[in-house]
């Protein structure tokens, strides 16, 4: 393992995070909040450490897969640690484990919170939470790739470890350009969302909601989340943008280069939109009894479906009161998540498509044992090693869900709470059901549970393996 | 520049390595998806699994906006066809590797009528390289510049040379010949020497100068050998055919040892003046019987690297003056030179370099245009031939007043018919060709100045 290079990369990351923290610092100046130290202390620690790390001499610039995965895994753990310091120093969340949970939830764009009452929180802290959602959504190492020219071509492993979905396509031939284009698209879409929001709601709110929606994070600045506004306009704008940020960013690139044909031919996109449409209609019909009016139930069901499938986790109504059928649909959506290459979490539609095709293939295979068939995605055959990876993924996903639920069960809460809390963290959604539903929050859990859930969120965001390899002894012994 | 490479073998991957280092946009196409994926992981490029003769694949790779297409698949026909497709789609330059001698004789037609810009025949290039070495066997390597008018020659300082511990200044004074040592290879470390540099045994010095002066230097160093007259070649491959043909034209005696009887007959028909021996080239007795002891040069061109290496070691052991080893797999190049096999050639690498040279000559920077690029000392040093296009910071200033970067040396100035080995008082003028030696890779413009 090339530890020197890993430490150097972490050093760059600390600089970037210090730079990001300046934004809430400025905000605290503007609102005259007396918590400057909450930002200044972590900023100075990070700059000092970043400076020391940048002095490390590193002759070997080779970056292999394990270095890439390890760097990303480690980077995110460190990122969340420094991200939690403002919460602790400002005494917003004095407990370290809870603060770490909050920061992890921010960077992994989960949006689960331990803060019971958001109305008493400093505005700069609220902004920091939203900003974490935004940066975490696209990935901070992708950001580093975009702004710092890379010396080694193998840095693609960083992109691979941090972006979502079963395979990574570089948009252009050059990694740096690809990372820049991703961030430009991301920034552009966020800006459009911001402009649409500012028509109806105040500036500070617009900035926060634009950031948190873009990262499909779902940190709100009100206890009631989006329901605070009770505005159809705001709900529709945010719902549509949550869907937009759940779409593979490659499609926006294709649109940018005017390759519309290829963009709209995407199999994953069609299935994704299909799932949203079906789920919305089913829930709208199922909740008709509660809302009495089809359009009202359609409004809430559309918002909730897009919020859950994009793994944002905003709430416009208390869906915990919905019938079991609708709640189960939401849980299914938590599993699925959105498209590969988006800012969302979950298993990803692309993988779900392949799993379904495999099931169909196996059924046909039982009828015609000698039948030859190839599984395709987007018209291209899925090769064997990718298939293996896909099945390892789903098995591990379920396994972590089961073990996670077991560990969370140590709290004396009901099954639905334990299970949905674990699932919502693993899929980076935010709210669950029962005690962690739209009206509840994660402050009810013990320190131990917060640590476990933080880890689970991280595992979910980085798609399992970058975090899991940190705990694999063979990584360290076999030099 | 945007460059598409079709077919990723040794040549393709070597090209990828160098072209990405030089910051070109590279897109690869290969029918093997695994290879494409590995390459994408290794280099900063994009790739498509598919065939170069599929127009949709080419369009996906962005053929319309590409500057160069290089076809290096195993099959000549595929390469030619791919280039024709690409040309038709508007690629600016198309380069094909074509190895079948049958096509090589039709270069003119392929160039002009099929509009391919460069056709590279690896076997022919390898043969050219070998015969160049044989013309001046004292040298370890020879690179030619300025349309073959300037040479950079590598000499190895022999064990008990009287010039050991001489500095280059002293050496020049002593010999009273004009030459310039542009680079030194000492234990695989590349050094751009100053006048104070002292020589040690087994240093390989890279020298440029007038041909007579270089010859004189070789004689003084005690390593001069006459042009190789009696040459033994093991293996009757395509390279053997090209090489023997060239050598026979230069009045050398060529003996070829080949195992396969039919191939022997074929070679005899093609090369009536050569002596063809049918037998096992690895048979020690056969080699001695055929006069290995008395040959001037021994060249191993069998298809097996191991066989070539062992045979070369054996010939070295017997004290044959010049031993040339062909290998395909250059991964172990460093080990070979420690075995004292200094003249090692690889057709694939030569091909890759030739293509690279062509690509670089297409890059027209504003003030200087690259005409030629050579890599010395296992790619650690570059010798670049520039054409100085117009007045700029380089021109009209005495060389000693130019603020050159460290490890950059102006080796030769070619002005019209004159070849100038510059001293500090010489001046570069517009329209001069300048050869610059540097350990900094990828110099394309005025980056040699601080």
pLDDT digits (tens, 9 = 90+) for A43-90: 999 999 999 988 888 777 777 778 888 888 899 999 999 999 999 999
Residue from the list B2, B20, B27 with its beta carbon closest to the beta carbon of A153: B20
For B43, name the nearest residue in chain A, comparing CA atoms only: A153
pLDDT band at A126 (very low <50, low <70, confident <90, very high): very high
| Closest chain B C-alpha to A151 CA, distance in angstroms | 10
Residue A185 has pLDDT above 90, yes or no: yes
pLDDT value at residue B111: 79
Provide DSSP, A338-380.
S-TTSS--SS-HHHHHHHHHHHHHHHHHHHSTT-----EETTE
CB contact under 8 A, A172 and B20: no
Q: Does B61 touch chain A (CB under 8 A)?
A: no
Count CB pairs under 8 A between chains A and B: 29
Mean of the pLDDT values across residues A133-158?
78
Classify A118 as helix, strand or coil: helix
Residue from the list A155, A157, A173 with its beta carbon closest to the beta carbon of B46: A173
CB contact under 8 A, B44 and A383: no
Mean of the pLDDT values across residues B78-92?
89
Neighbours of B400 (CB within 10 A): 11
Average pLDDT, chain B: 83
Mean of the pLDDT values across residues B18-47?
87
Degrees (nearest 5) of the Cα angle B63, A154, A467? Answer: 125
Q: Are A67 and A466 in contact (CB under 8 A)?
A: no
| DSSP type of residue B401 | G
How much of chain A, in percent, has pLDDT values that exceed 90? 48
Please name every residue paired with B185 in a beta bridge, in sequence order, or none if there are none.
B190, B204
pLDDT value at residue A408: 93
pLDDT value at residue A472: 81
pLDDT-wise least confident of A98-107, A330-339, B92-101, B155-164: B155-164
* Chain B residues in contact with A173 (beta carbon < 8 A): 2, 25-27, 44-46
CB contact under 8 A, B46 and A153: no
pLDDT band at B339 (very low <50, low <70, confident <90, very high): confident
Q: Does A65 touch chain B (CB under 8 A)?
A: yes
Q: Which residues does B143 contact at the CB level (< 8 Å), separation at least 6?
A: B151, B152, B374, B376, B383
pLDDT-wise least confident of A21-25, A188-192, B412-416: B412-416
Mean of the pLDDT values across residues B155-160?
80
pLDDT digits (tens, 9 = 90+) for A415-440: 999 999 999 999 999 888 888 888 88
pLDDT value at residue B336: 75
| Closest chain B C-alpha to A175 CA, distance in angstroms | 6
CB contact under 8 A, B42 and A170: no
Q: Does A119 touch chain B (CB under 8 A)?
A: no
Residue B317 has pLDDT above 80, yes or no: yes
pLDDT-wise least confident of A446-460, B34-48, B58-72, B184-198: B184-198
Strands B180-186 and B204-209: antiparallel
* Chain A residues in contact with B40 (beta carbon < 8 A): 156, 170
* Chain A residues in contact with B33 (beta carbon < 8 A): 383
pLDDT band at A308 (very low <50, low <70, confident <90, very high): very high
Interface test with A, best of B32, B46, B57, B68 (most A CBs within 10 A): B46
For B1, name the nearest residue in chain A, comparing CA atoms only: A173
pLDDT value at residue B240: 92
pLDDT value at residue A465: 84
pLDDT digits (tens, 9 = 90+) for A223-246: 888 888 888 999 999 999 999 999
User: Using CB atoms within 10 A of its CB, is residue A144 exposed (0-12), middle (13-18) or buried (19+)?
Assistant: buried
| Closest chain A C-alpha to B331 CA, distance in angstroms | 18
pLDDT digits (tens, 9 = 90+) for A318-338: 898 999 999 999 999 999 999
Residue B57 has pLDDT above 70, yes or no: yes
Interface test with A, best of B29, B44, B60 (most A CBs within 10 A): B44
Residue from the list A65, A150, A156 with its beta carbon closest to the beta carbon of B40: A156
* Chain A residues in contact with B43 (beta carbon < 8 A): 153
Residue from the list A65, A153, A383 with its beta carbon closest to the beta carbon of B44: A153
pLDDT value at residue A479: 52
For B21, name the nearest residue in chain A, comparing CA atoms only: A153
What gap in Å lies between CA A162 and CA A72, rounded to an integer?
7
Which tokens is A465 given? 């393996």
For B39, name the nearest residue in chain A, comparing CA atoms only: A154
Residue from the list B25, B33, B41 with its beta carbon closest to the beta carbon of A156: B41
CB contact under 8 A, A170 and B43: no
The pTM for the full model equals 0.80
CB contact under 8 A, B44 and A172: no
Q: Are A103 and A84 in contact (CB under 8 A)?
A: yes
Interface test with B, best of A173, A174, A377, A382 (most B CBs within 10 A): A173
Q: Does A197 touch chain B (CB under 8 A)?
A: no
For B45, name the nearest residue in chain A, comparing CA atoms only: A173
Mean of the pLDDT values across residues A464-471?
84
pLDDT band at A39 (very low <50, low <70, confident <90, very high): very high
Degrees (nearest 5) of the Cα angle B432, B435, B436? Answer: 125
pLDDT value at residue B107: 76
Which tokens is A179 given? 């990372």
What gap in Å lies between CA B70 and CA B87, rounded to an integer?
11
CB contact under 8 A, B44 and A65: no
Q: Does A376 touch chain B (CB under 8 A)?
A: no
For B49, name the nearest residue in chain A, comparing CA atoms only: A380
Positive or negative, the CA dihedral A263, A268, A269, A274 is: positive
pLDDT value at residue B367: 57
Residue from the list A154, A170, A174 with its beta carbon closest to the beta carbon of B42: A154
For A176, name the nearest residue in chain B, comparing CA atoms only: B44
Residue A275 has pLDDT above 90, yes or no: yes
Nearest to A217 by CA among A270, A139, A321: A139
For B3, name the nearest residue in chain A, comparing CA atoms only: A173
User: Using CB atoms within 10 A of its CB, is residue A8 exposed (0-12), middle (13-18) or buried (19+)?
Assistant: buried
Separation in Å, CA A72 to CA A104, A177, A191: 14, 20, 28
Gyration radius of chain B's alpha carbons: 23
Mean of the pLDDT values across residues B219-228?
78
Residue from the list B2, B27, B43 with its beta carbon closest to the beta carbon of A153: B43
pLDDT value at residue B170: 82
Q: Does A172 touch chain B (CB under 8 A)?
A: yes
For B20, name the nearest residue in chain A, comparing CA atoms only: A153
Residue from the list B25, B33, B42 with its beta carbon closest to the beta carbon of A173: B25
Q: Does A250 touch chain B (CB under 8 A)?
A: no
pLDDT band at B446 (very low <50, low <70, confident <90, very high): low
pLDDT value at residue A4: 85
For A167, name the nearest residue in chain B, comparing CA atoms only: B37
Residue A144 has pLDDT above 70, yes or no: yes
What gap in Å lies between CA A127 and CA A208, rounded to an integer?
6
pLDDT band at B287 (very low <50, low <70, confident <90, very high): confident
**Helices A123-138 + A203-214 axis angle, to 10:** 30
pLDDT band at A152 (very low <50, low <70, confident <90, very high): low
pLDDT value at residue B424: 77
* Chain B residues in contact with A153 (beta carbon < 8 A): 20, 42-45
pLDDT-wise least confident of A197-211, B295-309, B335-349: B335-349
pLDDT value at residue A129: 93
Phi, psi values for residue A471, rounded to 5°: -95, 10
Q: What is the largest CA-CA distance in chain A?
A: 74
pLDDT value at residue A395: 93
pLDDT band at B365 (very low <50, low <70, confident <90, very high): low
pLDDT band at A151 (very low <50, low <70, confident <90, very high): low
Distance of CA A382 to the CA centre of its chain: 26
Q: Which residues does B268 contact at the CB level (< 8 Å), separation at least 6?
A: B274, B276
């Amino acid at each position: 393992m090339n530890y020197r290079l890993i430490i150097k990369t972490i050093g760059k990351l600390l600089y970037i995070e210090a730079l990001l923290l300046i934004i809430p610092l400025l905000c605290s100046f503007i609102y005259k909040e007396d918590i400057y130290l909450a930002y200044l202390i972590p900023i100075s620690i990070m700059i000092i450490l970043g400076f020391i790390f940048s002095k490390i001499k590193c002759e070997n610039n080779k970056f292999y897969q394990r270095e890439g995965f390890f760097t990303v895994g480690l980077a995110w753990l460190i990122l969340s640690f420094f991200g939690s310091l403002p919460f602790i120093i400002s005494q917003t969340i004095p407990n370290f484990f809870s603060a770490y949970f909050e920061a992890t939830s921010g960077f992994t764009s989960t949006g689960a919170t331990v803060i019971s009452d958001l109305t008493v929180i400093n505005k700069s802290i609220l902004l920091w939470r939203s900003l974490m959602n935004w940066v975490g959504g696209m990935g901070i190492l992708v950001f580093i790739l975009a702004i710092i020219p890379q010396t080694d071509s193998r840095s693609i492993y960083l992109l691979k470890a941090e972006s979502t979905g079963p395979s990574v396509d570089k948009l252009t031939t050059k990694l740096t350009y690809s990372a820049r284009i991703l961030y430009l698209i991301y920034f552009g879409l966020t800006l459009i969302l911001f402009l649409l929001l500012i028509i109806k709601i105040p500036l500070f709110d617009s900035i926060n909601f634009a950031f948190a929606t873009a990262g499909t994070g779902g940190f709100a600045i009100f206890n009631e989340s989006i329901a605070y506004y009770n505005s159809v306009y705001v709900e529709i704008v945010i719902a549509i943008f949550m869907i937009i940020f759940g779409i593979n960013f490659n499609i926006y690139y294709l649109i940018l280069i005017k390759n519309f044909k290829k963009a709209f031919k995407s199999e994953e996109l069609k299935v994704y939109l299909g799932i949203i449409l079906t789920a919305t209609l089913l829930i709208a019909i199922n909740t008709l009894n509660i809302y009495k009016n089809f359009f009202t139930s359609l409004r809430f069901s559309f918002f909730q479906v897009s919020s859950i499938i994009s793994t944002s986790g905003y709430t416009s109504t208390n869906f915990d009161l919905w019938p079991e059928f609708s709640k189960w649909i939401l849980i299914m959506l938590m599993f699925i998540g959105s498209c590969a290459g988006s800012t969302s979490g979950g298993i990803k539609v692309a993988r779900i498509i392949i799993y379904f095709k495999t099931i169909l293939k196996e059924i046909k295979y039982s009828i015609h044992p000698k039948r030859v068939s190839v599984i395709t995605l987007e018209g291209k055959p899925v090769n064997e090693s990718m298939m293996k990876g896909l099945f390892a993924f789903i098995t591990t996903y379920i396994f972590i869900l089961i073990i996670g639920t077991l560990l969370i069960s140590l709290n004396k809460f009901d099954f639905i709470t334990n299970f949905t809390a674990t699932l919502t963290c693993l899929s980076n959604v935010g709210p669950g059901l029962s005690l962690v539903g739209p009206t509840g929050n994660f402050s009810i859990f013990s320190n131990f549970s917060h640590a476990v859930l933080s880890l689970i969120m991280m595992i979910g965001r980085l798609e399992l393996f970058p975090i899991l390899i940190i705990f694999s002894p063979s990584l360290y012994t076999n030099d | 520049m945007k460059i598409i490479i079709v077919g990723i073998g040794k040549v393709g991957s070597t090209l990828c390595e160098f072209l990405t280092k030089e910051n070109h946009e590279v897109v690869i196409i290969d029918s093997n998806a695994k290879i494409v994926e590995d390459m994408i992981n290794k280099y900063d490029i994009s790739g498509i699994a598919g065939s170069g003769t599929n127009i949709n694949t080419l369009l996906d790779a962005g053929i319309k906006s590409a500057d160069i297409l290089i076809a290096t698949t195993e099959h000549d026909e595929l390469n030619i066809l791919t280039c024709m497709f690409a040309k038709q789609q508007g690629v600016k330059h198309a380069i094909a590797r074509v190895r079948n001698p049958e096509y090589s004789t039709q270069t003119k037609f392929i160039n002009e009528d099929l509009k391919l810009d460069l056709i590279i025949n690896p076997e022919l290039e390898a043969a050219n390289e070998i015969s160049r070495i044989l013309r001046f066997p004292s040298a370890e390597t020879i690179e030619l510049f300025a349309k073959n008018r300037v040479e950079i020659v590598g000499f190895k300082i022999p064990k008990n040379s009287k010039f050991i511990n001489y500095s280059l200044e002293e050496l020049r004074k002593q010999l009273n010949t004009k030459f310039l040592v542009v680079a030194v290879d000492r234990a695989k470390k590349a050094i751009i020497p100053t006048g104070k540099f002292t020589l040690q045994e087994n240093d390989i010095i890279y020298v440029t100068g007038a041909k007579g002066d270089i010859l004189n230097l070789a004689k003084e160093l005690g390593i001069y050998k006459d042009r190789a007259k009696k040459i033994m070649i093991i293996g009757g491959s395509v390279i053997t055919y090209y090489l023997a043909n060239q050598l026979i034209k230069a009045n050398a005696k060529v003996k070829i040892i080949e195992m396969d009887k039919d191939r022997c007959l074929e070679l005899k028909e093609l090369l009536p003046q050569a002596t063809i021996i049918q037998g096992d080239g690895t048979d020690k007795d056969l080699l001695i019987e055929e006069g290995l002891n008395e040959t001037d040069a021994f060249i191993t061109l069998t298809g097996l690297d191991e066989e070539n290496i062992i045979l070369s070691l054996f010939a070295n052991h017997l004290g044959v003056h010049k031993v040339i080893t062909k290998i395909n797999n250059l991964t172990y190049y460093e080990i070979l030179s420690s075995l004292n096999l200094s003249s090692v050639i690889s057709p694939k690498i030569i091909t890759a370099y030739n293509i690279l040279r062509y690509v670089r000559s297409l890059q027209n920077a504003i003030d200087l245009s690259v005409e030629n690029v050579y890599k010395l000392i296992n790619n650690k040093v570059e010798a670049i031939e520039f054409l100085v296009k117009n007045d700029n910071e380089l021109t009209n200033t005495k060389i000693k007043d130019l603020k050159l970067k460290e490890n950059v040396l102006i080796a030769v100035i070619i002005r019209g018919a004159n070849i100038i080995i510059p001293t500090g008082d010489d001046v570069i003028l517009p329209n001069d060709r300048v050869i610059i030696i540097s350990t900094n890779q990828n110099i394309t413009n005025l980056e040699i100045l601080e």
